[in-house]
Each structure stands twice: as structure tokens, then as C-alpha cells.
Amino acid sequence: MKNWDLNDLYHGFDDAYERDLKKLEDKMDDLKNYILYQKQENDMQYIEGYIKREEEIVRLSRSLGAFASLTMATDVNHEVAPRYMAKLQQIFRKVTAEQVIFQRYLASVDLNKVKEHSSLIRKYLYLLKKDQEDATHLLSEKEEVLYSKMREFASSGWSQLHSITTANLPVDFEGKEITLSEIRNLAYDNDKDIREKAYHAELKAYEKIEDQVAFALSNIKREVTTMNDLRGYESALSKTLTQSNMTKATLDAMIEAMLEYRPYFAAYLKEKAAYLGHKGSLPFYDLFAPVGNLTKTYTYEEAQKIIKDAFYGYSKRLGDFATKAFDHNWIDPFPKKGKRGGAFCSNQPQIKQSRILSNFTGSLSDVLTLAHELGHGYHGEVIADNDPLHWSYPMPLAETASIFCETIVNNYLLKSLKKDEEKLSVLENSLQGDTQVIIDILSRYMFESKLFENATGPINKKQMKEWMLEAQKEAYTDGLDHEVLHPYMWLNKGHYYSAGLSFYNFPYAFGLLFGKGLYAAYLKDPDKFLLHYDHLLELTTKTSVEEVAKTMDIDVTSKDFWISSLEQVKKDIDEVILLFKK
């Protein structure tokens, strides 16, 4: 069983880890004392002193936190890692009150005036102004301290319950016990009977845990609603948009365009249903059914070669990055008991590396998922050269490089195929992904909106299942068979279970459609695009979504841009429908 190598972070929870943990505590104490006792006679010097301390803390805490969280990701039953995660939370919580004091002080400073004499403040001006804005939503020091303590065994605990419960969920399938990740991967199987049986086995398994997970989700959303009310946010969505460095005008333009293009996706799904022998609309269990005759199961080694060849076809830097990630065991590829489901990339710019988790079983979709996560890693490679407080990008821009890299690999595969049935396999697989990121994301956005509308009181599993079905019907319209939907999609998507990140759904649609627009620009003038693309990725941590888009002459507040990107998807829909009928 191939595992990722975390030794460049730490060799274990050993003496080196303990020393760095103590060093972090000392740095946090120093920051605390600085805020409380350093005289504020010179605003510029005082703010610079604070920034420098924050930079040191970020460098150190990223490695400590990453080692604990990555250890838990591949072993949710690990006995030691959760204790260190709790310890790190305690260390950061010690300066909560002082951070509130500093933010309130910062809100009183004229940053435009102070920046004139400080290159450090000019460099971080956008983030400092965001801190000033956030200061208007702060509670008192005592209340902020209390919430940071309570959150550890409130929403954080509920989130951990979801992770542990789903990772350990046994699924009975044809007399064998398999993991949830394995049963969900059978949705891509070539055998229709296996797909249908796996779908029913998955739904049956959820019945064992639906009560506790629904209770967890209900309490997380109620906590978010309560805290947002206390902080004076208009809604969970308005807070998310602030966190995302994105305006409501951009979100509205994108959602309106997505809603407008639902009929085209419904037409594709109904044609797929006919191709697979169904009458009418497509049953949910065949949403990911492979089509055409490219029935190949890829080995992990074959996936590596495809990705590296495709990436080198784009640029040497991208190809070299993928080679480095594969060769140095930055990836934990295969499913196993106790490992969390899905896939993610964790960028570690402090050591100029990334770590990628996947649950690879050999499908074409798994190959593209690896390409997607390596795109996140490449994004991390670019921003590793940024300053420490510019190592984090907002949710919508997080998907920019990942979607772009997935598109590179998908188009590489298409060019290598000659037969219509093989092209259908690859093109329709890509369209499956686009449908998830546009139409299923719409259903998730609708469902989460409904959750927050009703989060003033308890929400039970029955309501969640009903609302999920309603959202799927509204998003997919008549593309899916309304009698064979998936009432538990709220249970298996971990993004719902974070009190700190609400509405982690629309950023995927943004990433896909923004990535499509960027890829069109690349095809139009590859040389010019290559000169500017890495700079765009570098800027994602430093300014707003709208300003980043402007560097490529894109106006994301205009519905026309989103329509132009959706038109590219529609071309694929038209081509797939033609191939279905051949």
C-alpha cells in the first residue's frame, strides 16, 4: 500500500515536533505581550512589528498543523494526532483577546497615510484593510475567547464526528464489507447491475448513521447562524462572500447564467439515459456510468505517465512539478479503511511542497481527479514564492489552477483518440464533471440556502432528505428521474460540515467557468498566456477576485463572461449528444 511521505514536515510526534510546538507557544506569548505592552507611539512601527511576528507564526504553525491534520486524514482513528490538533487550537486561542484588541486598534488607523513610509505595510495593504473591515464584526474580547473555547467541542467536534463516522462506515455489498469510498467509486463501474446495486447499498448504509450526522450538521449550521447574528452579518452568504474576496454582483451574474443553461444539461442527461437503455430521464445511479468503449482501468503508473505527458505539453514548469510530486511521494493515492473519502491537496509553501490525498481505483475519473489535485499543488508551487501572509487564497480562486490542469489532461486524452466511441468516453466523462460542478453545485447551493433559512431551530434528517431531493429536482429539472435521486448527498459531502466555511459549493462553479475562460485565452495565444498565467496565480492571495480577473481582461461581474464559458460546455454537450446518436 503506497502512502505519502510526511518526513519533510516531521518524522512523527517526536522531540522535534515537541520543540517546535514549544517554540510556537513562545512566539504566541511574544505576540500577546507585544499587543498588550508595546507602546503605540508610531503606528507604522507598531503595525510592522505585529506583521513580522505574524509571519514567523505562520511559517511555524503551518508545518505543525499540517502534520497533525494530514496524519488524521489517512487514519481517522489515530490516537495521538487529535490531541495535538486540540493542543494547537489551545495555543492559538491564548491570544484571541489580544487579536481582538489589535484589530480594533487597526480599525482606527489611516492605512493609506501609514503605507507611504512602509514597504511592508504597502505589501499587505489589501489584507490589512480586510482586517479593518472584519473588526466591525468582532464581539468583546471575553466573548471572542469564550467562543474560541466553545467551538472546539461544538462545531469542530461535530465536524470530526462526521469525518470519523463516514470514514469508518462499513457498507455491505454482495456479502463483503467495504468502505464508503469504495462503494461510491462503483458508480463508475462498467457493469450496470453493479452500479445500481452499489447505489442501493450506499443508501442503505447511510441509514446506520443518518441520525447522528444530521444532528451534527444541524448544530453546525445553527452555530454559524447564531454567531453571524451576534456579529452583525446580514447572512452566512454575505460572510462567505467577504471571506471569498468576492462581490455579490459576481455571484449573482454566475448563478443567473448557470440557471439559464439547465435545459442543455437536462437534454444531455436524457440522451445519456436513452443511450443506456432507459426510458425518459436518467436514474441517479447511472449519472456516472461510463459510455463509449474506452473501458480501460488505469494503473497508477499509467495515470502518472498521462498526466506528466499532458503537463509537459503545456509547460516545463508544470511537468516538472508533477514529476516531483510523484517521485517524492507527495501523494497518498489508494483507498483504505480509516482513510477519509474524496480527494484534496494541502499546500505547504513553508517547505515549498504539497501533499495530495486521493482514493484512486483506476477509473478515467480518478486520473482526472489526480490532475485536478496536482493543479492545486501547482498553484501552491507558485504562491510559495509569496510572503507568508500571502500563502492563502480565497475559495473561488482556489479552483482556478486545478480546473485548468484537469482541462489540459482531458484535452490531451481527446487528441490521442481516433475512434468516435473512444472520444465519447473521454468527452462524456469530462461532461460528467462539468455537470457536477455546474448543476449539482446548484443543487448544493440551493440546499445549503434552505438549511440556513431554517437554522434558527433544530433540523432533522427527514427535512434534510426532503430539501436535498427538492434541490436536485430544481437543479437537474427533468434530466434526472425524480423517482431515483440521492436524498443523502448532504451526508457524504464534507464541505457542509465546517463552521468556518459556509457555502463551499459555488467556488467550484466559479473555478470551472473561470478556468474555461482562461483555457480559451490560452488556446487563442499560448505564448502570451504563459507570460501572464503564473502572475495571475500569484495574485490570487493578494487582492479581490474581480481584480485578479482583470489581469486577463475578464469582467466577472458581467453575466456575458459566464455565458461565454458556459457556451464552451454547451459545445461539448452538443458533440456528446451527436456521438450518442451515432
- Give pLDDT tens digits for 234-255: 999 999 999 999 999 999 999 9
Q: 388: Cβ–Cβ under 8 A, 6 or more apart, which residues?
A: 54, 55, 58, 59, 349, 350
Residue type, 133: E
Q: Can you give the pLDDT at residue 210?
A: 97
CA angle in degrees (0–180, nearest 5) for 440-441-443: 65
The separation between CA 532 and the C-alpha centre of its own chain, rounded to angstroms, equals 24
Q: Does the residue 165 lie in any domain?
A: no
Q: Does the residue 43 lie in any domain?
A: yes
**pLDDT higher at 148 or 459:** 459
225 to each of 136, 222, 451, 544, how far by Cα in Å?
A: 17, 5, 10, 25
Mean pLDDT, residues 49-68? 97
Q: Can you give the pLDDT at residue 555?
A: 96
- By the 8 A CB rule, do 15 and 79 touch? no
DSSP, res 332: E
- Tell me: do 568 and 452 sit in the same domain: yes
Burial class of residue 263, CB neighbours in 10 A (0-12, 13-18, 19+): exposed
Helices then strands, counting H and E runs in the chain, come out as 28, 5
Residue type, 262: R
Residue type, 481: D
Q: What is the pLDDT of residues 522-545, one digit of tens each?
A: 988 999 999 899 999 999 999 999
Q: Can you give the pLDDT at residue 297?
A: 87
- Tell me: do 451 and 569 sit in the same domain: yes
- Tell me: do 576 and 450 sit in the same domain: yes
Question: Which of 82, 112, 147 delimits the end of a domain?
Answer: 147
Q: Does the residue 381 lie in any domain?
A: yes
Q: Is the pLDDT at 68 greater than 90, yes or no?
A: yes
Q: Can you give the pLDDT at residue 1?
A: 63
- Tell me: do 277 and 370 sit in the same domain: no
* Strand, coil or helix: 68: helix
Residue whose cell numbers read 466573548: 143
Question: Which of 335, 359, 394 delimits the end of a domain?
Answer: 394
Query: Domain of 487: which CATH number?
Result: 1.10.1370.20
- Tell me: do 264 and 299 sit in the same domain: no
- Tell me: do 318 and 264 sit in the same domain: no
Give dist(CA 217, CA 215) in Å, integer. Answer: 6
Q: Does the residue 517 lie in any domain?
A: yes
Give dist(CA 545, CA 559) in Å, integer. Answer: 15
Mark out the alpha helices in 168-247 (DSSP H runs).
Answer: 180-185, 192-206, 210-231, 236-243
Q: Strands 353-357 and 331-332: what pairing?
A: parallel
Count of the separate structural domains present in the chain: 3
Q: Is the pLDDT at 142 greater than 70, yes or no?
A: yes
**Mean pLDDT score across all residues of the chain:** 95
Q: What is the pLDDT of residues 176-193, one digit of tens each?
A: 999 998 999 999 998 999
* pTM of the complete model: 0.87
Question: Which of 147, 182, 216 delimits the end of a domain?
Answer: 147
Give dist(CA 297, CA 288) in Å, integer. Answer: 15
Provide the domain limits for residue 549: 225-291+417-582
Give dist(CA 241, CA 512) in Å, integer. Answer: 18
